[in-house]
Every structure is written in C-alpha cells, then in structure tokens.
Amino acid sequence: MRIKVQCPGYRDPLALGFRDQNELVIRRSQRRAQKRSGTRTTDSSLDSGGPMIPSPQGSPQYPAEELARGYLFCQYMAGGHMSYLVPLIQNPQSSAVNVALNAVGLAALSNIRMSPRMMLKARQEYTTALAQTNHALRDPVMSKRDDILAAVVLLGMFEAMACTDDSFIDRWMKHMEGAARLIEFRGPEQLSRREGLDLFTQLRAQISTSTLYRETYSSIALTELTKTAKQHRNNNDHILDDLGLIVIRLGNFCAALKDGTITDPHEIIRSALTLDAGLTVLFLDVPGPWNYKTVKVPIHDGELITRLVWGESHHVYHSIVASSMWNNYRSARILIHELILDTVKALDSTASDETSSQQRRNLAEQSRRVARQLVEDICASVPFHLGAGVQDEDALAGPEERAPSSGHGSLLSADRNHLDMTGAGGLTLVWPLLIAANSGLASHDLRKWITGCFDKIGHSMGINQALAMAQLLRKGMHMRAWLTPGFGSGNSV
C-alpha cells in the first residue's frame, strides 16, 4: 500500500528455480580448477539430458518442460507482451501451441545454461510442433484458430532462439510471408476476439518490417484488416492502427521506388516528407498509457554511474508494448530520412543551380539531425527493455501527480516492475537496434555499444539471433548487403 503497487501474492515455487545459484558457483569453481590442472570437466547437471532440472536445496525438482514454460511465462507472458498465450495454452485441444511453447522455453534455457542436450530436446519439441502446425494449416477450419496462429508465432521465436548463423534473416523473411498469408486467410472475424486482435497487432508490426526491407508491396487485405482492427479498440489504442497504416504506406512507397514506378527525385522527396509529416503529427499528442518519460542519469565524480545508458538520459515506458510502438515509429522515420538523404545526394551530383543546391543542403542537414535524434531515442529505450528502471516511483506520473523531488531517479540493476519483462524486451529490441546501427548515422563507438547490447541480449536472455546480429556488425556488414539474392537460405512454416 505504501508504494502503491498491487501485491502479486505468494511467489510461485517454480520461480525459485530461476534463482538457483548452485550451478553457477559449481561451474565457476570447475573453471578455476581446470585452469590450475589444465584438464577439462563437464558439468553433468547441465548436460545430463535427464527430465529433471536441479532446484534449490530443500525445493522439489521439476521437469525441464515445466521450467521452460515457467521461464516463458515470467519473461514473456506476465508482462503483457504475449499475454494472449495464457488462455490459448490452457485449452486441452491446443497441442501445437503447447509443444511450440516447450520448444521455445527449452531453447532459451539451453542457451542460458549452455546445455546442448537441452537444445536437442528443444529441437525434438520443435519438430513435433512444426508437424502439428503444418497439419493444422492444411485444414481450412483449424487454420483459422488462434492457437494455430500462436503456434506459428512461437515457431518463429524458436528460430530466433536457436539460430546459429546469418541465414536467420532469410528464414525470418520467409516466415513473415507465411504469417501474412495466414492472417489474411483468417479474415476480419479474428479481430473480434482479444487474442486474435493481439496476435494480429504483433504480427503486423513484424510483417511491415519485413516488407520494408524486402521493398515489396503489402496486400490490400492487410490495409483493410488494419482499418477494421481500429474499430475493435478503445480510443486510446487507435494510435497502433494509425501507425500501422502509415508504415504500410511507407512500405508500398519503398516498393514503388524499387520497381521504378516512382523515379522523379523531387516526387520522391515530396512523398517522403509527406509520410514523415504524417508520422510526426500522429505522435504529437500520444495518449497517456503510450507515452514515456525521459530520466537523466546521475553523474558521480564526472562520470555516469552506469554504462547501460548511451548518453546522459534514458526512457521509462508504461509497458514493453508502448516502447515497441515508439521504436517502430522511430525506425520508420529513420528509413524515410535515409531516403531523403540518398535522393538529395543524387540530385547534388547532377544539379548546378546554386540556390536549389543550398536548399538541398539545408534539407539534408535537417534530415541528418532528425535521424540522429531518432537513433539516440532508440538507444535511450535500451535500459527499459533490458530490465533497468528508475528509483523515483513517480517517474511516469504527470506533472500534476508527481510528488516534489530534489533529484533525478537513478538506474537500478533490475527494476522490480520490469524485471520479468526482459525476455520480451530483448526480443522486441533487436530489430530497432539493428536499424539504428545501420542507419549510416551511428558512429563507430555507437555501433560498438549496440554490439555489446546484442551480446547481453543473446547471452542473458538466450536469444541467439542477437548474437548473430552482433557478429554481422563486427564484420562491418550493413543491412542492405544481407538482403541481396543468395545471401541466406532456409525454410520455415
């Protein structure tokens, strides 16, 4: 009552399994012994492959699948990002989604615990889920069920957890193609259910990202579904669909540039500025639950107290869903201003009029300034996504609600309200961070910092996709190079 936080009740015994430090201590001790003796030993408790996972002394042991499901619940469902899974996995008929859930959780824990045998079990579950999902997709009735679409989402998550090389981009693109066809087949009826609407919203953002970078047109059906989705939301949430419609227009604009439908440089700049103005106006007055606060990082002896923040401030949001929405908005605007900069550069190489040249230079400088700020803002969202919060409990309150304070909130290593959201935070952060790193406006130091963020996401959250992205950045590769024909290969649902 004192801190105005709702009591969650007694702790689930499963949660105790994630605070077991015995294995970590044993592993460190073994490593020190190996260094002294020059021999290598194996932690059998991690790679036994048995059905039971050690728990703290005096606590019961749990099957690996149960711990995997508990991990996903704490890291992805409890924070609201994928809460639509909760009723779906409780349905006894939802076999595919339950097996897919096991596969994702086991894969994440395998990466965190460095257990190859647990990954083998995860791949077995993945194979079973894949077969069940493909069977359901061939049935015109079953393929419209929410649990089958949720299984498709989880199979895509498994690829993010288990990927081992840079071909993940190609596989992800193909996965999004299949997901797009599926939500179109499901039709507007899916939007009348909470679970169906949430699934559609999450997939639409990913599909739009995919079409943007493949520079392909979105279907008319996706636009119509987005308009219908808006009718099923309350007024505060309309911004999700308004943003979705503008991003779809941006994707179609990029496709028109690629196929030569639009070639005139002046028309390109006008259209880009129109799209950017639409996004800017849309986010001028964001409803309260979707907004965020900027928090200054305290400085001690002339140094920032943490390296988790790039710059001197970071953002605090109401939810991962809100921060993801903002980063989708920033990513779209970064792409728009990159288009403007490329077009102005091409014009400068051919035009000779000095007055027009000065105007173009002014426009280019403005675009660079806006894009740099957008990159900084994506980076400012990182601490929230990775589980850091502010000590000041009034950080998100409006001016009229905030208690008087003489100082700034300080970063905590793990905010009590956001700790359980770090897995979802890491998964939703990787693509915006990749866009920021490859914007052409990120310095060498910033790219290095982002690479470190990818490493943290990969190692601490079990998301191997982040490690693959970090490796590509270390190689100095830029995103456009990854989308060339033949870069990657793979299959998906």
Residue 325 half-sphere exposure, CB side, CA atoms within 13 Å?
25
Strands 299-300 vs 303-304: parallel, antiparallel or unpaired: antiparallel
Strands 313-317 vs 292-296: parallel, antiparallel or unpaired: antiparallel
Could you tell me how far CA 56 lies from the centroid of its own chain?
32
Residue 8 domain-assigned (yes or no): no
Residue 470 domain-assigned (yes or no): yes
Range of the domain at 377: 264-399+407-486
**3-state SS class at 234:** coil
Residue 138 domain-assigned (yes or no): no
pLDDT of residue 74: 87
pLDDT of residue 190: 96
**3-state SS class at 317:** strand
C-alpha distances out from residue 353 to 52, 268, 358, 359, Å: 75, 19, 9, 10
Measured between alpha carbons, how far is 412 from 209 in angstroms, rounded to an integer? 32
One pLDDT digit (tens) per residue for the chain, 493 residues: 655 566 655 444 444 444 444 444 445 555 555 554 444 444 433 343 444 555 444 445 678 888 888 888 888 887 678 889 999 998 888 899 999 999 999 999 999 989 899 999 999 999 999 999 999 999 999 999 999 999 999 999 998 898 877 777 788 888 889 999 999 999 999 999 999 999 999 999 999 988 988 899 999 999 999 999 999 999 999 999 999 999 999 999 999 999 999 999 999 999 999 999 999 999 999 999 999 999 987 765 545 445 678 888 899 999 899 999 999 999 999 999 999 999 998 887 776 666 678 888 899 999 999 999 999 999 999 999 887 643 333 444 443 333 333 233 333 333 333 333 568 888 999 999 999 999 888 889 999 999 999 999 999 899 999 999 999 899 887 654 334 334 333 333 4
Residue 456 domain-assigned (yes or no): yes
Measured between alpha carbons, how far is 467 from 426 in angstroms, rounded to an integer? 12
Residues in contact with 114: Cβ distance below 8 Å, sequence separation at least 6, in sequence order: 46
pLDDT of residue 42: 40
Residue 13 domain-assigned (yes or no): no
Residue 137 domain-assigned (yes or no): no
pLDDT digits 0-9 by tens, 353-371? 666 788 888 999 999 999 9
Radius of gyration, CA atoms only, the chain: 24
Task: Look up residue 446 and give its two tokens.
Answer: 């910033």
Residue 448 domain-assigned (yes or no): yes
Domains: count for the chain: 1
Residue 71 domain-assigned (yes or no): no
**Taking a C-beta distance cutoff of 8 angstroms, is the pair 438, 470 a contact?**
no
Measured between alpha carbons, how far is 276 from 262 in angstroms, rounded to an integer? 18
